[in-house]
Amino acid sequence: MKPFAATLGLVFLLSAAPLGGAALAQEQPAKPPEAPSVPVSVTKVVRKDVPLIIRGLGTAQAYYSVLLRPQVDGRILEIAVTEGQDVRKGDLLAVIDPRPYQATLDAAMAKKQQDEAQLANAKLDLERYSTLANKNFASRQQVETQQALVKQVTALVAVDAALVQTAQVNLSFCTILAPFDGRVGLRSADPGMFVRAAEAASIMPVAQIRPIAMTFTVPQDQLPAIQRAMAAGKPSVAAYTPDNKQLLDKGELLTIDNAIDATTGTIKVKAVFPNANYALWPGQFANTQLLVGATEGALIVPSAAVQHGQGRLYVYVIKEDKTAEARTVEIGRDDGVVAIIAKGLEEGQTVVTDGHARLRNGSLVAIGGAPARTGG
């Protein structure tokens, strides 16, 4: 019976061995799951010539603008233009009844002719008295009295001439002409309406919008660059729609304001645009781009790639193993669209432009999305 018991014990041990191995296999810890990739958008660091552009928000305004008000009282006989009509300088716009002013002019001219005749007679009398006085047939007092009369009538003729000129000016005010090339706005007077010079109401507005002006403000730090550009010529200015997708017109810088606004640290500049297609309208807002120079062979990235850290600027660079690494950079210039890298990156490196929020050093990335623009 002993050999049988030994055999049973051996069989038990052999059958128990696999069960113990399975238990050991189940007790081994599972592998940790891989960290998920962070989706990002990227672009390349490129080297190119970058135009020095000063961006701003501009407001279009008429190159010339005037509210035509009556300068004499009277009834409007005619409105010679329609609302929205383009007019040339000197075109007839409106007519105020000229008859009262024509009558005043005629009376002033008649009075002047009367006094001129009296002056001529007084001069003849002075000549006669002077001849008689030389022959002792007239007193010296008579000559002096006649000289005074000549001076008095001469002054009357001068007054008459001034009255004639005043009447002529008032008569000219009855005919309202376009003061410059422009466009007529919405009129506020109609034929038959009585208007007064003392009233503030206008007959119609006229504005020159081709060419058209635009004013915008720039930081005072940009003033030296603008002055250098103006010394070399007239810097070009481009106007875009608020979404920067459509070019409205191209013009040139006209002038710089004569003072910096101390409350905002900005200075106002004025540009002029041909506005051949009426793409700009007075009161319209547009994004402006003032070209004042260029930086040649600069390393550039989109401004969105540059992140602000604690006491530094940095950019996430994508390495060959698809992980992100933060690189401290120095910025030469950043206009809000393109940043010029002075130090910290090399041409051809891949940088992150979107998706920074979840990135850390060593984060695995999944590249997707449209690359950001790196052009100026």
Give me the number of domains the chain comprises.
4
Residue 74 lies in a domain: yes
Q: Tens digit of pLDDT per residue, the chain (376 long)?
A: 444 444 444 444 444 444 444 444 455 555 555 667 889 999 999 998 888 889 899 999 999 999 999 999 999 999 999 999 999 999 999 999 999 999 999 999 999 999 999 999 989 988 887 888 787 777 778 888 888 999 999 999 999 999 999 999 999 999 999 999 999 999 999 999 999 999 888 999 999 999 999 999 999 999 999 999 999 999 999 999 999 899 999 999 999 999 999 999 999 999 999 999 999 999 999 999 999 988 888 899 999 999 998 889 999 999 989 999 999 999 988 878 889 999 999 999 999 999 888 888 888 999 875 444 555 4
**Domain termination residue (choose one: 277, 295, 313):** 295
Residue 14 lies in a domain: no
- Specify whether 247 is located in the same domain as 226: yes
List residues bridging with 293 in a β-sheet. 52
Measuring CA to CA, how many Å separate 88 from each of 91, 162, 184, 210, 321? 6, 32, 10, 12, 70
Residue 34 lies in a domain: no
- Specify whether 147 is located in the same domain as 107: yes
- Specify whether 184 is located in the same domain as 161: no
- Specify whether 231 is located in the same domain as 267: yes
- Specify whether 262 is located in the same domain as 335: no
Residue 17 lies in a domain: no
Q: Which domain holds residue 284?
A: 54-63+205-295
- Specify whether 321 is located in the same domain as 360: yes
- Specify whether 131 is located in the same domain as 181: no
Residue 186 lies in a domain: yes
| Residues 347-364: tens digit of each pLDDT | 999 999 998 888 888 889
- Specify whether 157 is located in the same domain as 281: no
**Domain termination residue (choose one: 295, 322, 343):** 295
> The domain spanning residue 45 has which CATH number?
2.40.420.20
- Specify whether 213 is located in the same domain as 283: yes
Residue 35 lies in a domain: no
- Specify whether 210 is located in the same domain as 287: yes
Residue 117 lies in a domain: yes
Has this prediction a pTM greater than 0.85? Answer: no
| Residues 258-304: tens digit of each pLDDT | 999 999 999 999 999 999 999 999 999 999 999 998 888 889 999 99
- Specify whether 76 is located in the same domain as 195: yes
Tell me which residue of 46, 85, 280 sits closest to 178, measured CA to CA.
Answer: 85
Residue 6 lies in a domain: no
> The domain spanning residue 258 has which CATH number?
2.40.30.170
> 3-state SS string over the chain?
CHHHHHHHHHHHHHHHHHHHHHHHHHCCCCCCCCCCCEEEEEEECEEEEEEEEEEEEEEEEEEEEEEECCCCCEEEEEECCCCCCEECCCCEEEEECCHHHHHHHHHHHHHHHHHHHHHHHHHHHHHHHHHHHHCCCCCHHHHHHHHHHHHHHHHHHHHHHHHHHHHHHHHHCCEEECCCCEEECCCCCCCCCEECCCCCCCCEEEEEEEEEEEEEEEEHHHHHHHHHHHHHCCCEEEEECCCCCCEEEEEEEEEEEEEEECCCCEEEEEEEECCCCCCCCCCCEEEEEEEEEEEEEEEEEEHHHCEEECCEEEEEEECCCCEEEEEEEEEEEECCCEEEEEECCCCCCEEEEECHHHCCCCCEEEECCCCCCCCC
- Specify whether 266 is located in the same domain as 189: no
> What does the alpha-carbon distance between residue 163 and residue 155 come to, in Å, rounded to a whole number?
12
